[in-house]
Amino acid sequence: MIIILKESATDEQISHVVARVESFGLQAHLSKGTYRTVVGVIGDEAKIQAAPLLAIPGVAEAVPIMPAYKLASRKAHPQPTVVHVGSGDAVTKIGGGHFGMIAGPCAIESAERLDSIAGDIKAAGANLLRGGAFKPRTSPYAFQGLGEEGLKILREVGDKHSLPVVTEAIDPRHVEMIAEYTDMIQLGARNMQNFVLLTEVGKTGKPVLLKRGMAATIQDLLMSAEYVVANGTTDVVLCERGVKSFDNSCRNMLDIAAVPQIQQLSHLPIIVDPSHATGRPELIPACALAAAASGADGVHIEVHNCPEEAMSDGPQALLPAQYAEVAKQIRAVAKVVGKTF
Amino acid sequence: MIIILKESATDEQISHVVARVESFGLQAHLSKGTYRTVVGVIGDEAKIQAAPLLAIPGVAEAVPIMPAYKLASRKAHPQPTVVHVGSGDAVTKIGGGHFGMIAGPCAIESAERLDSIAGDIKAAGANLLRGGAFKPRTSPYAFQGLGEEGLKILREVGDKHSLPVVTEAIDPRHVEMIAEYTDMIQLGARNMQNFVLLTEVGKTGKPVLLKRGMAATIQDLLMSAEYVVANGTTDVVLCERGVKSFDNSCRNMLDIAAVPQIQQLSHLPIIVDPSHATGRPELIPACALAAAASGADGVHIEVHNCPEEAMSDGPQALLPAQYAEVAKQIRAVAKVVGKTF
Amino acid sequence: MIIILKESATDEQISHVVARVESFGLQAHLSKGTYRTVVGVIGDEAKIQAAPLLAIPGVAEAVPIMPAYKLASRKAHPQPTVVHVGSGDAVTKIGGGHFGMIAGPCAIESAERLDSIAGDIKAAGANLLRGGAFKPRTSPYAFQGLGEEGLKILREVGDKHSLPVVTEAIDPRHVEMIAEYTDMIQLGARNMQNFVLLTEVGKTGKPVLLKRGMAATIQDLLMSAEYVVANGTTDVVLCERGVKSFDNSCRNMLDIAAVPQIQQLSHLPIIVDPSHATGRPELIPACALAAAASGADGVHIEVHNCPEEAMSDGPQALLPAQYAEVAKQIRAVAKVVGKTF
Amino acid sequence: MIIILKESATDEQISHVVARVESFGLQAHLSKGTYRTVVGVIGDEAKIQAAPLLAIPGVAEAVPIMPAYKLASRKAHPQPTVVHVGSGDAVTKIGGGHFGMIAGPCAIESAERLDSIAGDIKAAGANLLRGGAFKPRTSPYAFQGLGEEGLKILREVGDKHSLPVVTEAIDPRHVEMIAEYTDMIQLGARNMQNFVLLTEVGKTGKPVLLKRGMAATIQDLLMSAEYVVANGTTDVVLCERGVKSFDNSCRNMLDIAAVPQIQQLSHLPIIVDPSHATGRPELIPACALAAAASGADGVHIEVHNCPEEAMSDGPQALLPAQYAEVAKQIRAVAKVVGKTF
């Protein structure tokens, strides 16, 4: 931490800043510049990161040197984490050169439909089946998911096709139940800073798919990953799925540079969801290929066999045949940048 | 709803769109333009708003005419809602010309400190005491609040100073307990789209303070208000508290135009929180006055008697004396635009 | 300037950084922390601000301590600048307690129309007449302004009503001509970083109205003001007119906190343009009042007597009667915060 | 154009809207819905696009059906445009399967340095040499470029290495001179809406490299391309180079989805500049590969042989050896998606 004082800071104020730093068991190193005094903090920065330094009279700025996340950082774990999802015959690895192909419908609507979609995506090369049983809908009047019934369907269909399964949790009271039915728990973009939910999901020890919030910085995302890891789950896959921007020609703006950035900062795998990022099927293939080329550890694509009848987010789903086509190209591009299948 | 077809739409596709519209019990009204065909939907638009129209082949755009919120809209309730918070001697009215002066520390830290702050803000004209017992912190290592102990302190201090009290809920499992101790429940910015929590809080029937999410559009905020109202609570006060922007000179960007916009769209009161919007005490007075002049129904300001020791968000709090000064000016400005005290 | 090195920085790299700093005639002050080394730069930071420090191996971050603008900063000129616009009987002062009421149509369309509008706004209390003769239109097919003919009309109408006049320059080849006809030259939002134009306009010595770009930070705006002042014009009025945001319910998002921020950083007056900020007449009054309450040094409002026939930006103009009404309220609010009329 | 009326619109207002539409030589087609009346405009929408429809009493919304750009649209020219840059032996094609590899230093600093860089990038596969002679710098005190001397160097070095050359124009008074020395003229991000400059550059008939503004929507970019094409130059290459976002971990946010979006809307080639988009060399390779995979028609990368001494934007340049490495991978990825070299 570097504390930059105001030009107007008095000697008394400077002494007070030094005393505050020392009160945290840290040392203060003064550097008087031409215009301003700067206080370098020596010692474990974590002790002072949450302190309201800007509220101290005479302080202009406090510049952290260390990130506030630790367990999620590359420093804590220099090698990339390989997340294992599933068990028995159906284990999918994501990270460290292993590429996750997550696909499925937005919501689980019926056993028949999910079975049909699962068969198609498995054939196309998908290795993880997604489907929502509890849906966070912006309208209280919209379809909210099949609940536990949906979880049962997901489990059965996944088992039938030897695909591990992932579904979203939105209520801390359901986390335990979801953990029983599925292989991985998704934390959605709207809940990325639902710290209560992060904590509960982290405690299950299950692999987690953590989606970036629509206005979350990369630092925010890694802090949320820290919540999950600090509560006990080290198998966290991060997911870039587009953020808010001033240009509403797409639903969100896919932040492709987040992939190499996160890979520098963290050991956790990072995948990309071009379905939610764009909200438009005709843009999904180009964005999925961009993700693969950028070095992402996987892609998450919504697939539905009759989008116009989908009970949630139909317009952003690919048809199974479209998915098969793009899946082939994704593998070709991912191989160029060193991924194995 | 107006459905705009692609230039390339075939007659068959147009017929299919018409059939889809009719399948919802609505009528379709075709208008063939020079370049494109447009389908006007006649009937209750609510029936079709959640349908994946963009997934129908040949459809280019679907333009809703009616907002997706109903109970929160001006149309449902042309007169401004006056929210009553508290009971007995300590009732504060917000909306319809009544101005809410919400103040207090970010977190409840001790009975003594809260008592001291409450006495000061009451003397300065505040009419609603805030304080956090459960804190949504971005770091798992930061102070998370005193929990139920904090709620007890808040209730006692509020009663002593005849100030109704508001505190934030972050966990659906705590909502009932919070409702017992407090007069109003806050839904924070990070939980604005935590629909599970919105639902639980709505069911209590208690007045609600709903803060706008950091990347929520005004439409998003009103949809979240709809969740609360649809679950049983009509006393919802909305709160603009700054949104994310490209300029990080302030913590957030205060969207002052949201005040008149919301007043046109909704009957619910809208207040402004310049503390979270700016994160810098020297900017709070100007923004609070701007809020009062814009016609806002109140302001929410953090006050702490020793910000540098605050356990949460110290740097954005005013000192009691600073609050007293700005409170006087706020009243002067609010009176110019017709508010009563 | 504080240069933060990477954890992996070698001793050789650290020595190289020190040598680079010294090569600019500055001193380097080393501070070895627990994890990282920090180099404080002692001396005139301006010498090193433009250097590509991040390109030096081992450097992680370079944190400037001094702003890159000097002439525009409060430090250079602690008292607020009062800009005088016009001459003879028609002088309007802006800044230092003097409130500018700039009004007029987006574009000059005819002598009759401008005369009528000018009479109305003068009666309502406006003290500076605006009107565009050269329009920066996003479409090459839209009305581009009357050119020099418009300037003549503006000069005549201003003189008739004893109102100083301001118009926008968009071409460096026209700046001299515009300076002859008008009392103040506007640099529009789209040209805020047209440094060629800033330079030419600065050289005229005429007062300047510099509008903030749609995605310009406050720092960017002050750097552009620095261009104008460095070229010879110290009479620069800054104008906040809304910036791009993710919420397109308004044309732009009015950044009201920019007013107190700029007043802390700079001695130059800062006014607000609620017309361009909102693009919707029903929101203009609330935003204009917010501006006055925030301490702004003036407001810039578009007024047209038949918006539906306006040749540019009609939908964001107030009718003369609406302007008269809001002007009265603006004065009442501005007086509360210490402005004189 | 579809004009949606307010619920409160009177019959008289509706008649007036119809009359206004007809006054433009168009037909109005009324559709009375359950809640609102909608007016469909039949005929050439271009006639009414610039009209201030929202200023007409009773009008709630005006939804255009046709884009406001024509010459730049796919509809005007269904086949992709192949832009030819250069003459004689040194012709580079961009678009329609031809991939542009634009590289070079930010600014031209000396003949020796440019010669060295040009030799390196040519060997690595670059086919177009860039270098700035007139630099738009945010600080008036920073290096502004070598001017005409720089143009001479660029021409000579380009000729020596058989590389066509591109440089930026920032002043309409220099456009003719620049056109004499170079093969392609760049319009920079800050000048994307400098319509005076767009017009002058368009008149030269030279190929143009038009960079997207930092807060420009895709629609804005295509409108600026329309300016250039309408003035006479059909050879316009568009360039996505990152836009402003709330996350300042990168200089800008690369909008990779802009590539497929623009390819659907326009026939003009679209390339990507990962140097300006990220501002950090360690992120450039991943973003360049993502661009190639997304189907972009080229990449624009800054290369410098001693970034820490660069007179402009050193920290975002690759070293020649880094460029050679990524150029090889770019070709491999681009071939997977059908590009030829």
Does residue B237 register a pLDDT over 90?
A: yes
- pLDDT given at position D321: 97
Q: Is A311's pLDDT higher than 90?
A: no
- Of residues C223 and B1, the one with the higher pLDDT is C223
Percent of chain C with pLDDT over 90: 82
Contacts of A172 in chain B (CB under 8 A): 171-173
The parent domain of residue C105 ranges over: 83-336
- pLDDT value at residue D311: 87
What's the rounded Cα separation, in Å, for the pair B309 and B301?
Answer: 18
Predicted TM-score (pTM) of this structure: 0.96
Work out how many domains chain C is built from and give that number.
2
Cβ of B171 and A310 within 8 Å? no
Looking at residue B94, what is its pLDDT? 98
Q: Are residues A104 and A17 both part of a single domain?
A: no
User: How many CB atoms neighbour CB C255 within 10 A?
Assistant: 26
Type of residue at C131: G
Q: Quick one: pLDDT at residue B110?
A: 97
Residue A297 contacts residue A100 (beta carbons within 8 Å): yes
What was the pLDDT predicted at B70? 93
Residue C311 has pLDDT above 90, yes or no: no
Query: Best residue in A2, A8, A70, A75 to probe C by mutation, most C CBs within 10 Å?
Result: A2
**Orientation of helix B111-124 relative to helix B320-336, angle to 10°:** 30
pLDDT of residue C21: 93
Residues B55 and B129 in one domain: no
Q: Pairing between strand B59-63 and B2-5?
A: antiparallel
- Is residue D271 in some structural domain? yes
pLDDT of residue D150: 97
3-state helix, strand, coil in chain A (%, to 5): 40, 20, 40
Q: What's the confidence (pLDDT) of residue C25?
A: 93
From chain A, pick out residues whose CB is under 8 angstroms from the CB of D219.
249
CB contact under 8 A, A38 and C40: yes
Task: Using an 8 Å CB-CB cutoff, list chain B residues near C248.
Answer: 217
Distance of CA D180 to the CA centre of its chain: 22
Contact between chains at B65 and D36 (C-beta distance less than 8 A): yes
CB atoms within 10 A of CB A15: 13
User: Whole-angstrom Cα distance, residue C220 to residue B82?
Assistant: 43
Backbone region of residue B298 per phi and psi (left: phi > 0; alpha: psi in -120 to 50; beta: other values): left
Considering the domain architecture, whether residues C255 and C306 belong to the same structural domain is answered as: yes
Q: Establish if C64 touches chain D: CB-CB under 8 angstroms.
A: no
Distance from the C231 Cα atom to the nearest Cα atom in chain D, whole angstroms? 9
Asked whether residue A73 is domain-assigned, the answer is no
**In angstroms, what CA-CA distances link C215 with B126, C3, D192, D252?**
37, 28, 13, 12
Say whether both C211 and C325 belong to one domain. yes
Which residues of D are less than 8 Å from C307 in CB distance?
Answer: 52, 55
DSSP state of D81: P
List the single residue in B with minimal CA-CA distance to C265: B249
* Model pLDDT, residue A49: 85
The answer to whether residue A302 sits within a structural domain is: yes
Nearest to B151 by CA among B133, B128, B129, B169: B133
Tokens of A273: 């969801």
Partners of residue B26 in chain D, C-beta under 8 Å? none
Question: pLDDT averaged over chain C?
Answer: 95
Give B34→chain C minimum CA distance, Å. 21
Residue C202 — very low, low, confident or very high, per pLDDT cuts 50/70/90?
very high
Decide which of B31, B63, B95 is a domain's last residue: B63
pLDDT at B312 over 90: no
Length, in residues, of chain D: 341
pLDDT of residue C264: 96
Which of C29, C34, C36 is the closest to A31 by Cβ?
C29
What DSSP string runs through A299-340?
EEEEB-S-GGG-SS-GGGPBPHHHHHHHHHHHHHHHHHTT-B
* Integer Cα distance of B302 and B186 in angstroms: 14
Place of tokens 């499992």: B173
Tell whether B309 is within 8 A of chain A (Cβ): yes
pLDDT band at residue C17 under the 50/70/90 scheme: very high
Q: Compute the average pLDDT of residues C51-57.
A: 90
Average pLDDT value for residue range A67-80: 93
Q: What would the mean pLDDT of D136-149 be, rounded to a whole number?
A: 92
C98/C192 same-domain check: yes
C145: tokens are 């302004």
* pLDDT higher than 90, residue D49: no
DSSP A125: T
Note whether C247 contacts B: Cβ–Cβ < 8 A. Answer: yes
Residue A6 confidence (pLDDT): 92
Chains adjacent to C (≥3 CB pairs closer than 8 angstroms): A, B, D
Beta strands, E only, chain C: 2-5, 27-32, 37-42, 59-63, 83-87, 90-94, 100-104, 128-130, 165-168, 184-187, 208-211, 236-240, 270-272, 298-302
Q: How many CB atoms lie within 10 A of CB D13?
A: 17
Question: Is the CB of residue C40 less than 8 Å away from at least one CB of chain D?
Answer: no
Chain D contact probe: residue of A253, A263, A294, A297 with most D CBs at under 10 A: A294
Asked whether the predicted pLDDT for residue D36 surpasses 90, the reply is no
Q: Whose CA is closest to A284, among A273, A270, A292, A269? A: A273
For residue A243, being part of any structural domain is answered with yes
* A220 to chain B, closest Cα gap in Å: 7
CB B278 within 8 A of CB B287: yes
How far apart are the C-alpha atoms of A196 and A194, rounded to whole Å?
6
Q: What is the pLDDT of residues A156-173, one digit of tens each?
A: 999 999 999 999 999 999
Q: Does A42 touch chain C (CB under 8 A)?
A: yes
Residues in chain B within 8 Å Cβ distance of D4: 2, 63, 65
Q: How far apart are CA B101 and CA B274, in angstroms?
A: 12
Contact residues on chain D for C308, CB-CB shorter than 8 A: 20, 52-53, 55-57
* CB–CB contact B255 C245 (8 Å): yes
Written as one string, the DSSP assignment of C213-253 is: PTT--HHHHHHHHHHHHHTT---EEEEE--B--S-TTSSSB
Q: Is D249–A261 a contact, with Cβ atoms under 8 angstroms apart?
A: yes
**pLDDT surpassing 90 at residue D301:** yes
For residue C228, the model assigns a pLDDT of 97
Residue type at B20 in one-letter notation = R
> Residue for token digits 């999620």?
A72
Chosen from D247, D272, D329 to mutate, greatest number of chain A CBs within 10 A: D247
DSSP structural state of residue B95: B
Query: Is the separation of the CB atoms in D332 and D341 below 8 Å?
Result: no
- Domain check: are D95 and D227 in the same one? yes
Nearest to D43 among B34, B45, B248 (CB): B34
- pLDDT of C51 > 90? The answer is no
Half-sphere exposure of C4 (CA within 13 A, CB side): 20
D282 and A CB contact within 8 Å: yes
Tokens representing C131? 């009107």
pLDDT at C33 over 90: no
Contact yes or no for C130/C300 (Cβ under 8 A): yes
> Where does B9-106 have alpha helices with state H?
11-23
Are the Cβ atoms of D172 and C170 closer than 8 angstroms?
no
Asked if A87 and A47 sit in the same domain, the reply is: no
**Is the confidence at residue A5, as pLDDT, over 90?**
yes
pLDDT at residue A132 above 90? yes
- Chain A residues touching B193 at Cβ < 8 A: 136, 138, 190
Among C50, C54, C194, select the one facing D194 at the smallest CB separation: C194
Mean pLDDT of A123-133: 98
Q: How confident is the model at residue A298 (pLDDT cuts 50, 70, 90)?
A: very high
pLDDT value at position D212? 98
Q: Is C317 on the interface with D (CB under 8 A)?
A: yes
Interface list for B 127-146 with A (CB within 8 A): 136-143
CATH number, domain of D38, equals 3.30.70.1140
- Condensed to tens digits (0 to 9), the pLDDT of residues D91-102 reads 999 999 999 999
The answer to the question of residue A200 being in a domain is: yes
pLDDT, average across residues B40-50: 88
Across the beta sheet with A27-32, the strand order is: A27-32, A37-42, A2-5, A59-63
What is the distance in angstroms between the Cα of B196 and the nearest Cα belonging to chain D? 27
With beta carbons less than 8 A apart as the criterion, state whether D228 and D206 touch.
no
Q: Is the pLDDT of residue C114 over 90?
A: yes
C-alpha D108 chain-centroid distance: 22
Note whether C31 and C161 are same-domain residues: no
Residue A341: pLDDT above 90?
no
Residue C147's pLDDT is 97
Together in a domain, A50 and A175: no
- How many beta carbons lie within 10 A of that of residue D8, not counting itself? 10
The structure tokens listed for A241 are 């799925």
**Helix, strand, coil content of chain D in percent (nearest 5):** 40, 20, 40
D30 assigned to some structural domain: yes
Give this complex's ipTM. 0.95
> Is D71 a member of any domain?
no
User: d(Cα C302, Cα C297) in Å, to the nearest integer?
Assistant: 17
Report the mean per-residue pLDDT for chain B.
95
D252 touching chain C per CB within 8 A: no
Asked which of C63, C98, C116 is the last residue of a domain, the reply is C63
When pLDDT is averaged across residues A145-155 and rounded to a whole number, the result is 97
- Give yes or no for residue D50 having a pLDDT over 90: no
Q: Using the beta-carbon criterion (under 8 Å), do A33 and C65 form an inter-chain contact?
A: yes
Residue B149 has a CB neighbour count (10 Å cut-off) of: 13
Chain C neighbours among A 12-31 (CB < 8 Å)?
A: 29, 31
- Tell me which residue of C213, C79, C191 sits closest to C135, measured CA to CA: C191
- Neighboring chain C residues of D68 at a CB cutoff of 8 Å: 138-139
Please report whether residue B122 resides in a domain: yes
Return the structure tokens found at C14: 């650290």
Interchain contact C199–B (C-beta under 8 A): no
If you average pLDDT over residues C61-86, what whole number do you get?
A: 93
CATH of residue A208's domain is 3.20.20.70
Look at residue A65 and tell me whether its pLDDT is greater than 90: no
Q: By CB neighbour count within 10 A (0-12 exposed, 13-18 middle, 19+ buried), where does A218 fall?
A: buried
The percentage of residues in chain C with a pLDDT greater than 70, rounded to a whole number, is 100
Instruction: List the single residue in B with minimal CA-CA distance to A136.
Output: B195
Secondary structure of residue A10 in the 3-state scheme: coil
Q: Which residue does chain C place closest to D139, by CA atoms?
A: C223
* Per-residue confidence (pLDDT) for residue D163, from 0 to 100: 98
Q: Is B196 in contact with A170 (Cβ distance < 8 A)? A: yes
pLDDT average, residue stretch D297-312:
93
What is the arithmetic mean of pLDDT over A60-77?
Answer: 90
The minimal CB distance from C246 to the residues A36, A66, A244 is found for: A244
Confidence of residue B34 (pLDDT cuts 50, 70, 90): confident
Q: From the CA of C182, how many Å to the nearest CA of chain A?
A: 35
pLDDT at D336: 96
Give the Å distances, CA to CA, from C314 to B15, C298, C302, D47, D52.
39, 22, 9, 17, 5
Rounded-to-5 percentages of helix, strand, coil across chain C: 40, 20, 40
How many percent of chain D have pLDDT more than 90? 82
- On the question of pLDDT at C81 being above 90, the answer is yes
In terms of domains, do B189 and B328 share one? yes
- Which H or E element spans position C157? helix C148-160
User: At D292, which amino acid appears?
Assistant: A
pLDDT at C36 over 90: no
What is the pLDDT, as a whole number, of residue D46?
A: 87
Same domain as D95, residue D58:
no
Q: Same domain, yes or no, for A312 and A222?
A: yes
Calculate the dihedral angle through the C-alpha atoms of B187, B189, B191, B194, rounding to the nearest 10 degrees: 100
